[in-house]
Structure 1
Amino acid sequence: MGIIVTQGDAFCFSQIFKPGEAEKGCMMDGVLYPFGEISRTEDCLTCSCSKYDMHCCSLYHTPTDYDKETCKIIFNKKDCDYEVVQKDPSKPCAYYTRIG
């Protein structure tokens, strides 16, 4: 049985637009997102888009405190989450900490 401790929240960032820069929505990484709330972007973020700014937060936490000699992290883009597994991927790692 493992123990998972979550420290902090997901990371967040904001982008402020110049007047007229976001007339049809918010552009991020070559993708135009509509105004309003965006529940999930292609990069696993949840965002709020307006003509003035875009505010986004990650939907995942990054594992930090795990045995890096026997374990590795794998990002599962479908679930927007990291998995910490032993370098033999059939076994989970017992203890790790996540931060946002």
Structure 2
Amino acid sequence: MKTFLACLLVLSVSVTASNASCYVLPLNPVKRGDEIIGSYDMKGEPHEFNSQWKTEDCLECSCSKFGISCCTTYARPVNFDEEKCVSIFNNTACAYEVVEKADHSKTCEVHEWVG
């Protein structure tokens, strides 16, 4: 258990340092008889070990014997003209678009993306 907590600490520090958008849910066992076969996610949905899926809110998740880990599938724009432009998240494409505030049909130049 101490090793697992140490790994979680290292992961949380590295996630913060890299600006990644990820999280880990500790194992919430799904059982078949006495055997643990997976973990429940935040919505209470069961997932088997070694499974992977994409959520409706654009996260890629996987289930392991340590729990469930999820990361965003998109980058966030951080270096653009915020006075002239606005970033809009497109849920269907799981991506940000940066467009002019006055005319959303015109895209803006983005100099840096994070995530």
Equivalent runs, 1:1-100 vs 2, <5 Å: 10-17=20-27, 21-23=28-30, 25-28=39-42, 30=43, 32-35=45-48, 36-38=51-53, 40-50=54-64, 52-87=66-101, 88-100=103-115
Question: Structure 2 CA distance, aligned partners of 1:27 and 1:34?
Answer: 7
Check conservation: 1:10, 1:60, Cα contact below 8 A.
no
Check conservation: 1:13, 1:57, Cα contact below 8 A.
yes
Check conservation: 1:26, 1:50, Cα contact below 8 A.
no
Aligned length: 88
Percent identity over the alignment is 39
Indicate the structure whose relative CO is greater, using CA pairs within 8 Å and at least 6 residues apart: 1
Aligned alpha-carbon RMSD (Å)? 2.1
> Where do 5+ consecutive residues of structure 2 fail to align?
1-17, 31-37
Q: Greater Rg, structure 1 or structure 2?
A: 2
| Residue number in structure 2 paired with 1:4 | none
What amino acid maps onto 1:11 in structure 2? S
Q: 1:79 to 1:31 in 2, by over 3 A?
A: farther
Q: Tell me by how many angstroms 1:25 deviates.
A: 4.0
Question: Structure 2 CA distance, aligned partners of 1:62 and 1:10?
Answer: 10
Task: Describe the superposition over 1:27-64 as per-residue Cα deviations: whole angstroms up to 9, x where unpaired.
Answer: 22x261522111x1111011111353011111001110
What amino acid maps onto 1:22 in structure 2? P
Q: 1:15 to 1:25 in 2, by over 3 A?
A: closer
Structure with the largest fraction of helix:
2
